[in-house]
Chain A
Amino acid sequence: MNTLLSLGDNLQTFWGFTGFANAEPGHIIMILVGLLFIFLAIKFEFEPLLLIPIGFGMLIGNIPFDEAANLKVGIYEEGSVLNILYQGVVQGWYPPLIFLGIGAMTDFSALIANPKLILIGAACQFGIFGAYIIALQLGFEPNQAGAIGIIGGADGPTAIFLSSKLAPNLMGAIAVSAYSYMALVPIIQPPFMRLLTTKKERVIHMTPPRVISQTEKILFPIVGLLLTAFLVPSGLPLLGMLFFGNLLKESGVTRRLAETARGPLIDIVTILLGLTVGVSTQATTFLTAQSVKVFIIGALSFIIATIAGILFVKIFNLFLKKENKINPLIGNAGVSAVPDSARISQIIGLEYDPSNYLLMHAMGPNVAGVIGSAVAAGIMLGFLG
């Protein structure tokens, strides 16, 4: 009889440790969101390199367990493996390493060949500052509003970097929002591109870019680094690594380092970053009214950035000679989201003129958007950090 009672007690203890005993509706909702991310990544190939680690991380982060049992499996439990890996996000180590890889894989030729396109990358940062003001109006603290605004930069690592510094408690919502909307760029941007442009503007053929010398390519990251160091030193962790990576690529003598930066290094960091950001979205900290507001502001910031880029090109065209006019369909590409937003420009452009290839032109504002959002993040950090 005693043996049976003891067995019953043990089974009850075992049951208390299982997910079934500890599950709450929030856990189930977040597990479903994680499954949705994985589905979108596999079925529609929406940012699969990020959505799969983040989605799987959501599953891990929302496994219901008894926190009082001190199992050391939760990301917020000091000393757990996930907590140690999460330090790379919290302390802001991963985003600069990702920028190193981005620099090593980015060809800035389109931008160097037609440098006026860099201004489109600046115009799209209206999305960041517009969202910042909206977030303040919705009751967020200034530092939180700054971190939320950066979603409009359409750059995941920049969003994570800034939110880790300004609003760590909102980092999960900001990161998930930023990556979700980046994946949804093909759905968000086209209606505004069509709405804000005329048929005549959509068929503008841009002058082919000039040829770039290797010396220019080598000097570009050095000039960029020095400019950042003197003008926006707070942007150095991101932009410094971006330009360093680009110099590794363009110098021609550090091929192995460039290949490591744009290959294994960025892959490893992406896995760690995506997974830990996903795990950090525990239902108790993630399913809040604040997160809902973050998602709404995030969508608005993408829309503002897209509109700002297109309108800027239209205004800019008023001052350009006919042969130098810019097709406003590349205005959207200034929101970064490399290379998806540039691909959208190409796709929409081809719809109206099958001989008008806009991709190489759109890559200019696209990479300028990466620089612009990192500069904006540096400015935000300078003011609010």
Chain B
Amino acid sequence: MTQAIEKALEIAGIGIIGVFIFMAIFYLLILALDTFLPYKEEVSAEGNSVEVETEDETQN
């Protein structure tokens, strides 16, 4: 194996591992977001939930 190929494989290896590390950390950070900031039904200014508002509009 020539030195050039070794270098190429090294860069490719580090590159793909680097992409996976970046994405894996991103994955963990998104999981953390979900854990610490779980979805709650969003509340309108009048204190009614958005869903309730939609239903009211439909009924009207």
Contacts and interface: CB of A to CB of B under 8 A. Distances in A.
Contacts of B23: 118-119, 121-122, 368, 371-372, 375
Contacts of A48: none
- Classify chain B's interface size: 20 to 34
Interface in B1-60: 4-5, 7-9, 11-12, 14-16, 18-27, 29-31, 33-34, 37-40, 42
- Summarize B's interface: helix, strand, loop or mixed: helix
Interface string A115-126: 110110110011
Given A119-B20, A232-B18, A227 B29 contact: yes
Interface in A217-239: 219-220, 223-224, 227-228, 231-232
A361 B55 CA distance: 28
A306 B12 CA distance: 18
A232 B17 CA distance: 13
B30 to A, nearest CB: 4
A136 B31 CA distance: 39
A216 B37 contact: yes
A232 B14 CA distance: 13
A112 B25 contact: no
Residue of B21, B23, B24 most packed against chain A (CB within 10 A): B23
- Summarize A's interface: helix, strand, loop or mixed: helix
B17 to A, nearest CB: 10
A119 B27 contact: yes
- Classify chain A's interface size: 35 or more
Contacts of B33: 112, 216, 219-220, 223
A126 B16 contact: yes
A173 interface: no
A38 B33 CA distance: 46
B24 A119 contact: yes
Interface stretch (A87-95, A207-215, A278-286): A207-215
Contacts of A220: 30, 33
B14 A379 contact: yes
B26 A212 contact: no
A371 B33 CA distance: 19
B39 A213 contact: yes
A355 B12 CA distance: 40
26 contacts: A111-B30, A112-B33, A118-B26, A118-B30, A119-B20, A119-B24, A125-B19, A126-B16, A129-B12, A129-B15, A133-B9, A137-B5, A210-B39, A213-B39, A214-B42, A216-B33, A216-B34, A220-B33, A223-B33, A224-B26, A227-B29, A231-B21, A231-B22, A232-B22, A379-B18, A380-B15
A-B pairs, 5 with minimum CB distance: A129-B12, A115-B30, A122-B23, A213-B39, A379-B15
Interface of A: 111-112, 115-116, 118-119, 121-122, 125-126, 128-130, 132-133, 136-137, 142, 145, 210-216, 219-220, 223-224, 227-228, 231-232, 368, 371-372, 375-376, 379-380, 383-384
